[in-house]
């Protein structure tokens, strides 16, 4: 099997979805099986043979500042707010067993800068903020409804874009959290899985391991592309797997969505949520992943559904 390893130009990127999906510069449509994916192969400084694709996820600050994405975000932020018309859900999206929430909001669907606030739920069901908001960045093209506890893509009565491979969006909605990973032995005061050189996150929709982190030495690889989890740029020093499009896994619906270390406050990702490494480590020391959710929404949508969904 032969795939391409894309060496980053101008900055190293991280986090993703599917072959060329959540990273619009990762690989060609033919390998992706996604919608709207493009490739940077022709413009990359160097392309070499490898067993995997080194997946970029953080867009450089200089690229973001001059891109059409940044322009569209500015325009969207200045535009008049539109009414949010979501309907009450048939069931509340957050199970009663959940006691922690990471609430991430952005000004609009197309903004890539936002904040994360930690909340705890008491035995009487009341949510309380337990820390000050933390600056974060999300997908370079903003947010799109994903697949999680809120349902599959757009909830009834709501509007807004939907998440798909290659669109550069972070998934919006409510999601449980999976395992925590770290690239250094003994670095955290909390449980985590050590990232080894053979850990991969296949982003090939045709793979039976699509949207899972697996050890390629322990399985029979059936993918044409996969994200290398052990990085040299520090972006995956800490990683939390976000259970988007996880049960069931819909091919092309988006994969390998993480919370991880950022490339800076002006560097968006291509689908993940990123924040300062020291801040992330503080969050992880507090976090109980099996009892926590991430809520990721544009602020106007969050305000509209907060009461009816009983969110923090």
Q: What is the pLDDT of residues 115-168, one digit of tens each?
A: 999 999 999 999 999 999 999 999 999 999 999 999 999 999 899 999 998 899
Cβ–Cβ < 8 Å for 103, 295: yes
287 vs 22: which has the higher pLDDT: 287
Cβ–Cβ < 8 Å for 114, 106: yes
pLDDT at 16: 45
Tokens read off for 255: 């994969």
pLDDT at 199: 98
pLDDT at residue 236 greater than cutoff 60: yes
pLDDT at residue 171 greater than cutoff 80: yes
pLDDT at residue 58 greater than cutoff 60: no
DSSP string, 180-229: EEESSTT--SS--EEP-TTEEEE--TTSTTTT--EETTTS----S-EEES
> Minimum mean pLDDT among 7-16, 205-214, 288-297: which range?
7-16
* Virtual torsion, Cα 173, 100, 212, 274, nearest 10 deg: 70
pLDDT at 187: 86
Cβ–Cβ < 8 Å for 215, 239: no
What does the alpha-carbon distance between residue 36 and residue 248 come to, in Å, rounded to a whole number?
23
Over the chain, what is the mean pLDDT? 80
Residue 26: pLDDT band (50, 70, 90) is very low
Tens-digit pLDDT profile for residues 32-53: 333 333 333 333 333 233 333 3
With residue 108 as reference, give the H or E element that holds it.
Answer: none
Burial class (CB in 10 A: 0-12, 13-18, 19+), 113: middle
Average pLDDT of 200-211?
A: 95
What does the alpha-carbon distance between residue 107 and residue 115 come to, in Å, rounded to a whole number?
10
Q: How many CB atoms lie within 10 A of CB 17?
A: 41
pLDDT at 85: 77
Is the previous residue joined to 248 through a cis bond, with omega within 30 degrees of 0? yes
The percent of residues above 70 in pLDDT, for the chain, comes to 74
Residue 100, phi then psi, degrees to nearest 5? -130, 150
pLDDT at 14: 56
pLDDT at 254: 95
pLDDT at 107: 98
The percent of residues above 90 in pLDDT, for the chain, comes to 66
Q: How many CB atoms lie within 10 A of CB 298?
A: 23
**Entry pTM:** 0.79
Residue 198, phi then psi, degrees to nearest 5? -100, 5
What does the alpha-carbon distance between residue 12 and residue 166 come to, in Å, rounded to a whole number?
18
Residue with tokens 């449509």: 29
Which ranges of the chain does DSSP label H, i.e. alpha helix?
29-32, 61-66, 68-78, 277-286, 299-305
pLDDT at 36: 34
Average pLDDT of 7-11?
A: 35
14 vs 249: which has the higher pLDDT: 249
């Amino acid at each position: 099997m032969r795939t391409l390893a894309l060496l980053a130009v101008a900055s190293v990127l991280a986090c993703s979805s599917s072959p060329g999906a959540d990273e619009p510069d990762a690989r060609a449509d033919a390998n992706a099986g996604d919608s709207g994916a493009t490739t940077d192969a022709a413009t990359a400084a160097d392309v070499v043979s490898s067993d995997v694709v080194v997946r970029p996820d953080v867009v450089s600050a200089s690229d973001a500042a001059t891109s059409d994405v940044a322009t569209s975000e500015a325009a969207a932020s200045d535009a008049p707010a539109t009414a949010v018309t979501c309907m009450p859900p048939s069931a509340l999206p957050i199970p009663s067993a959940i006691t922690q929430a990471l609430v991430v909001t952005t000004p609009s669907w197309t903004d890539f800068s936002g904040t994360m606030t930690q909340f705890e739920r008491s035995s009487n069901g009341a949510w309380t903020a337990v820390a000050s908001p933390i600056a974060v960045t999300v997908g370079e093209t903003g947010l799109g409804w994903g697949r999680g506890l809120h349902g599959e893509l757009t909830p009834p009565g709501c509007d807004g874009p939907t998440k798909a491979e290659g669109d550069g969006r972070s998934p919006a909605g409510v999601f449980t959290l999976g395992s925590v990973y770290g690239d250094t032995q003994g670095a955290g005061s909390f449980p985590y899985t050590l990232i080894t050189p053979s850990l991969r996150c296949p982003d090939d929709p045709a793979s039976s391991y699509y949207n899972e982190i697996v050890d390629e030495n322990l399985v029979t690889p059936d993918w044409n592309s996969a994200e290398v989890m052990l990085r040299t740029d520090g972006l995956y020093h800490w990683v939390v797997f976000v259970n988007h499009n996880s049960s069931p896994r819909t091919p092309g619906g988006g994969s390998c969505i993480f919370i991880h270390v950022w490339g800076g406050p002006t560097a968006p990702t291509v689908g993940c949520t990123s924040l300062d490494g020291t801040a992330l480590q503080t969050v992880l020391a507090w976090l109980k992943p099996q009892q926590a959710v991430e809520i990721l929404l544009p602020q106007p949508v969050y305000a509209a559904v907060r009461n009816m969904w009983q969110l923090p």
